Amino acid sequence: MSSYLLPLELWGIRLCLIGSDRGVQKVKFITPEEDFSFLKTLPPWGEEARKQMGDFQTGQRQKLTVPFDRVRKSSFGEKVLAEVQAIPPGECRTYGEIAAKCGSPGAARAVGRLMARNPLPIFVPCHRVIGANRKLTGYSGPGGVEFKKWLLEKEKDVFGKP
């Protein structure tokens, strides 16, 4: 099985999708100094990933559905990832709301732990999950909570949410 790297941009943020023949395994935020110009081979899902990201940036697509090749989680973990993927751009849900929708209303902290280790930020939009008090809480991506806030504001602008 082959391994692939696919650099992309989202609203000026540089990302690198890392994956296999089956799909994306991880999203890495990359710096301007990191050079991927040597890459010549697109992954099988590369063109679709580029198209979806372009459509998402302009508000023409609400959900990124590029195939994933991820390590299987527990059934609870799979439910959490699916619920987080279902949150529309520019909207938020609390960790507790996600836990309750997954059938475990007392598992807000477990949802938080899953989000902290999310290997697919943006695609599984953990930045849309917030604290019980409706305030922004931790974000393991670059820039922490300030970046989480910026992503949410950008989504609201692009998708016309109040």
User: Catalytic residue positions?
Assistant: 126
Angle between the N-to-C axes of helices 75-85 and 108-116, in degrees from 0 to 180, rounded to the nearest 10: 80
Residue 123, both tokens = 């695609």
